[in-house]
Chain A
Amino acid sequence: SFQIKKLVYVYLMRYAEEQQDLALLSISTFQRALKDPNQLIRASALRVLSSIRVPIIVPIMMLAIKEASSDLSPYVRKNAAHAIQKLYSLDPEQKEMLIEVIEKLLKDRSTLVAGSVVMAFEEVCPDRIDLIHKNYRKLCNLLVDVEEWGQVVIIHMLTRYARTQFVSPWKDDEAGEEYSENNFYESDEEQKEKDRKVKATYIMDPDHRLLLRNTKPLLQSRNAAVVMAVAQLYWHLAPKSEAGIVSKSLVRLLRSNREVQYIVLQNIATMSIQRKGMFEPYLKSFYVRSTDPTMIKTLKLEILTNLANEANISTLLREFQTYVKSQDKQFAAATIQAIGRCATNITEVTDTCLNGLVCLLSNRDEIVVAESVVVIKKLLQTQPAHHGEIIKHMAKLLDNITVPVARASILWLIGEYCERVPKIAPDVLRKTAKSFTNEDDLVKLQILNLGAKLYLTNSKQTKLLTQYVLNLGKYDQSYDIRDRTRFIRQLIVPNEKSGALSKYAKKIFLAQKPAPLLESPFKDRDHFQLGTLSHTLNSRATGYLELSDWPEVAPDPSVRNVEVAESPKEWTGILGKTKKEKPAEKFYSESEEEEDESASTSASGGYLESNLHPTAWRTSGSESEKEDKEEGSSDESSGSSSSSGESSDSESDNKENTAKKTSRAADESDSEDIKKKAKAISRKRSTSSSSDTESTSSEESSSDSKSESDSKSDSESGKSRSATSSKKEEKTIQDRKAPNKQDVFLLDLDDFCPVPTPVAVPTAAVLSPSLTADLEGLSLLSSSVIDVTTQVSVPTKTHELLHRMSGKGLAAHYHFSRQPGIFGDCMVSVQVTVTNTTDQKIENIHIGEKKLPPGMRMHEFNPIECLEPAGSITVSMGIDFCDSTQTASFQL
């Protein structure tokens, strides 16, 4: 059974390496499973096969991956992409072959595959940036639809890519301003954006802009990893003025669990060092709660310190005061250090900080006191002179403090400034000399130092003491101390052997020491890419890829232009025998149901030999009274499919999508109806064509294909119907109607603009003859208009189906409307916008020869009778891809 199989798979994956022979036995099973009709089985077979880490089967795996990479199912292809990485880790020698597969998969248009293949790309050949060029724009555009984990990988990859391909936007910060006010992410406006960009003084590469625009919505993702990835992308790529938008999202992430918090805070810490302004408005979000774990607390503190400036320092210091009292002593100590850093960075408050710290010296907690001592020492060092009082105070403390670092600090201070406290210093030395043997090494060294300094400045009082200390040091257990003792003795105690050096002893010991710089531990992290493991660890992790610097000159952007030849896999084709699934009888029975309707007619398309010239697509319709219609239908050949019925579906769907009300058309079409009824009978049997439509039939059939039509059944009666017909012989009539129709078309105008990816179609060549034929042609228009309020406005991407040049002025774009299929469960709805860019009318646009792979069904739109110059119309069609990504190809 399936479950057992799965568990066996799991077992095999785990133990294959240990029991290779056993695993080999099973391989033939998987090979068989790779050909299974169920895509799930194919996929899991591939998964298991690639997970068996046995070197002997590498060729088999290679073969399987190659095969799977051209599988119909995107799911299987996705798994193939995963398998690439596994095979690569098993046998890196296959690299070349794998790169080929990756290259192929990168061209894939499925969002499912994109994430995985980029992951494989990163793993196998991250330096082959040339593979990305052609897919760059596609990846940018698909990004929003890719599943979350894929997004993360793609964003990281694109960050690296962009760093190598675009010039730095940081040189000219204002440039980006102009755009930031607009909504970038409206795909509709892309074209306009492009135009504006050209005008801008500083011209950011449009592709660069595209990337930034497309990633911005992802900041709203619910997945923290995605947000983080986008944040780092903006950090590394965006102009400084725009990078600010990520901070809001990052602050939002602080609400999630503490692991996420930790990583995010680390990244914020790095960012906040370089650009304080970014997070300043969110200062209060970084206030520490007593329930936070210590690691979070210290990170927050770090950020607060980074953000400190003259304006907010007073509030910050007040906040710090509370922290110092925290029960978490480690945190309190960190706070003291933070205060120290603030004090050095902002000179105005140094004195306040110092006073505060001195107050802390009387704290009962040892760690706090010790930390303050250390910080005070550093502060005093940066501010030489006139702090004698503090030093005296600290000297008194020496008796109580036990923490070695603090003691050592005090001793050092006294030694350094012994001239300022001439009375205390020898006394201190006396005390410490007494306890020398019990001190920590660190303190001992400082005692020695102090002794040496005092010896040099005040040798009368301290000579004996120093010698005593040096003697103690000589026999100390630590060689470090013995060493130091010897060194100091030679240096300061004059004897016959020591030469000129001892003369300089005073200079050596009492030289001005440079003040230590109090710096953030995150200072040096910015050379790592944000959001990477290396950044978190602050050391290079294996597999870390250096983010390159901006290039001086942008490499040729034209490499990203997709060439015409290699474009649309979507539309290369096969044959279509599937159309006949919906029996004609069914359709007619439907229309019989509509008998009550006033002018019920039905249109049916006769599908004559499919492989003829495109014009072989002839439609014959019947109309007017129901008897006529039945008659007409019986006349239809058995091969007549329900295509035109379906196409009226698509027509109505089109109207739903665009939500256009074309009630105006109603009046006109009514009159046309009458005219046509008269003509109908004569036309009925003619093979050329006659046309008509009416909304009821289309509504009926669309409701049949299960979707939204129920909601509008009530509005049916008031619906407009426009039906026009034209025949070759009846040109005059047609011409007269044309202006009327244009109203309809104009209303139908859909407002998207194409993405700049020029994607041409192999059918282009075949198209011109068909067009010419069409122009003199038979046409059929059905536009039944339904007033529906569903506004389905999905961020859609438009793909160009037919470029206007190659199509002799006829341009077609398609996009997936991301709607539940209107024609059936498995139909994917595709909206095709046809635009006429010539100055002549184009007539009879319809789907010509279709080549569909077995199992695929296509639901084409009603032929468009006539397209006015500069007019455009949107039609919908449904395609049942049967879970495959085989391309559907057809001719217009």
Chain B
Amino acid sequence: QDYFGVCSEVMIKDNVVVVYEVLEEMLDNGFPLATESNILKELIKPPTILRTVVNTITGSTNVGDQLPTGQLSVVPWRRTGVKYTNNEAYFDVIEEIDAIIDKSGSTITAEIQGVIDACVKLTGMPDLTLSFMNPRLLDDVSFHPCVRFKRWESERILSFIPPDGNFRLLSYHVSAQNLVAIPVYVKHNISFRDSSSLGRFEITVGPKQTMGKTVEGVMVTSQMPKGVLNMTLTPSQGTHIFDPVTKLLSWDVGKINPQKLPSLKGNVSLQAGTSKPDENPTINLQFKIQQLAISGLKVNRLDMYGEKYKPFKGIKYMTKAGKFQVRT
């Protein structure tokens, strides 16, 4: 994926030679050899349009003939001799909420899985330190190998020489013990009647504890029981699709407007003759909240040592729904 952007059959077919080479570098006799993508990129350069043109003209290839220096150095994840005209370092703090909400709306489990993804394009060998306002939140973390563990242990500061390009700096886990604020609620009323082949269906989604931010990209999906034939629903906002084959209902809500809560109402028609499903479907929810890390994690400052230029720094927060389920 690092090479081609997307991993699809067509892509692999088009680049079969490169794929072959990459796999060959990665594995030797079934044992992993080099899996660091920075090193692979130096051994076998990813195809770009420009390079393809150049290669066809000059007849050269995209296989590096020098062993990447990084592999032997003390910082194997970073290529040497990196150069950029605008030096920039972006960090995305992305948190996903995994939660199970039961019928009555109380939370059964909730935990936060967070990652800090970085896109670092800095010249030379910069040495970065990243400090947090409230590092105590992070008690279960896993780091990219570049992070100096000792420093983290003693000072709770991330100090590292970053790899070039995109990478995942750390991922963390805020477990169920801590109180996790659930930013949305779902009101539902789904009932199937035994006598008729009709059922009622009603869902309303609303914000809760969002700290003033808007909830965006809301998407509700629900796997209907097998007995459901069709659904006639009217949403107050957004669009909905029911796939009668897979019995999957999905409702693309979009932004939640706190003044006018989006709802989806209608009837469910069941297969005649079958008894009513014994369980109501669970509702899966997806949403996004920009500029908010729900755990309250905040990056304090980012400093760079080792290089003289001034990098452009940026930090973005985002909260997403991970595996967010509402039982009905």
Contact = CB atoms under 8 A, between A and B. Distances in A.
B223 A793 contact: no
Interface string A1-35: 11110110110000000000000000000000000
Nearest to A119: B31
Given A291-B325, A326-B279, A790 B32 contact: no
B305 A86 contact: no
A711 interface: yes
A284 B176 contact: yes
Interface in B8-57: 17, 20-21, 24, 28-29, 31-33, 35-36
B177 interface: yes
A790 B153 contact: no
Given A85-B29, A291-B323, A220 B141 contact: yes
Max chain B C-beta neighbours (<10 A), residue from A7, A43, A284, A820: A820
Interface in B152-191: 153-154, 159, 161, 168, 171, 173, 175-177
Contact of A149 (B31, B63, B72, B278): B31
Contacts of B61: 1-4
A79 B176 contact: no
Nearest to B32: A149
Nearest to A222: B142
A462 to B, nearest CB: 38
Contacts of A793: 148, 150-151, 159
A75 B71 contact: yes
Contacts of B144: 222
B29 A86 contact: yes
B291 to A, nearest CB: 24
B207 interface: no
Contacts of A39: 67
A351 interface: no
B67 A285 contact: no
B243 interface: no
B153 A185 contact: yes
Given A284-B108, A285-B175, A363 B65 contact: no
B149 interface: yes
B306 A707 contact: yes
B173 A327 contact: no
A419 interface: no
B67 A38 contact: yes
A281 B150 contact: no
B113 A255 contact: yes
Contact of B145 (A1, A4, A222, A290): A222
A82 B149 contact: no
Contacts of A365: 278
Interface string A245-279: 00011011001000000000000000000000000
Interface string A147-170: 111000000000000000000000
A364 interface: yes
A249 B140 contact: yes
B308 A364 contact: no
A820 B279 CA distance: 62
Interface string A347-381: 00000000000000001110000000000000000
Contact of A289 (B67, B100, B223, B279): B100
B225 interface: yes
Nearest to A150: B32
Contacts of B214: none
A75 to B, nearest CB: 6
A825 interface: yes
Nearest to B103: A322
Nearest to A817: B74
Nearest to A225: B32
A119 B100 CA distance: 43
A147 B40 CA distance: 14
Contact of B140 (A47, A75, A248): A248
Given A3-B62, A148-B35, A149-B31, A795 B278 contact: no
Contacts of B201: none
A575 interface: no
A363 B278 contact: yes
A185 B176 CA distance: 28
B143 A220 contact: yes
B246 to A, nearest CB: 13
Given A75-B71, A149-B35, A793-B148, A40 B66 contact: yes
A828 interface: yes
Interface string A85-101: 11000000000000000
A6 B108 CA distance: 56
A319 interface: yes
Nearest to B39: A147
B111 interface: yes
A397 to B, nearest CB: 17
Contact of A291 (B36, B75, B142, B284): B284
A327 B279 contact: yes
A41 B64 CA distance: 11
Contacts of B279: 325-327
Contacts, number: 174
Contact of A10 (B24, B71, B141): B24
Contacts of B20: 7, 10
Contacts of A883: 67, 69, 72
B31 A3 contact: no
Max chain B C-beta neighbours (<10 A), residue from A119, A187, A290, A707: A290
Nearest to B74: A818
B138 to A, nearest CB: 11
Interface in A216-238: 217, 220-222, 227
A646 B152 CA distance: 33
B282 A290 contact: yes
Contacts of B140: 248-249, 251-252
B72 A794 contact: no
B305 A789 contact: yes
A656 B218 CA distance: 52
Interface in A22-62: 38-41, 43, 47, 50-51
A469 B104 CA distance: 54
Interface string B241-284: 00000000000000000000000000000000001001101101
Contact of B223 (A1, A284, A290): A290
Contacts of A183: 153-154
Contacts of B230: none
Nearest to A144: B149
A699 to B, nearest CB: 14
A290 to B, nearest CB: 5
A655 to B, nearest CB: 15
Given A1-B60, A820-B306, A364 B75 contact: no
Contact of A795 (B142, B143, B148): B148
B323 A289 contact: yes
Contacts of A363: 278
Contacts of B35: 147-149
B150 A708 contact: no
B153 A2 contact: no
A322 B306 contact: no
A82 B175 contact: no
A256 to B, nearest CB: 10
Contacts of A7: 17, 20-21
Interface in B64-89: 65-67, 69, 71-76, 80-81
28 contacts: A1-B59, A2-B61, A3-B17, A3-B21, A82-B28, A112-B71, A112-B72, A149-B31, A185-B149, A220-B143, A220-B149, A251-B173, A252-B142, A255-B98, A282-B175, A284-B109, A285-B111, A285-B176, A289-B323, A290-B282, A290-B327, A327-B223, A708-B305, A708-B306, A710-B308, A820-B161, A825-B81, A883-B69
Given A186-B154, A222-B143, A710-B308, 15 more contacts: A3-B21, A6-B21, A10-B20, A51-B29, A73-B72, A75-B67, A119-B31, A147-B35, A147-B76, A149-B32, A221-B143, A284-B176, A285-B109, A287-B109, A327-B279
What are the 7 closest A-B residue pairs judged by CB atoms, nearest first? A3-B61, A820-B125, A710-B308, A149-B32, A284-B109, A40-B67, A325-B279
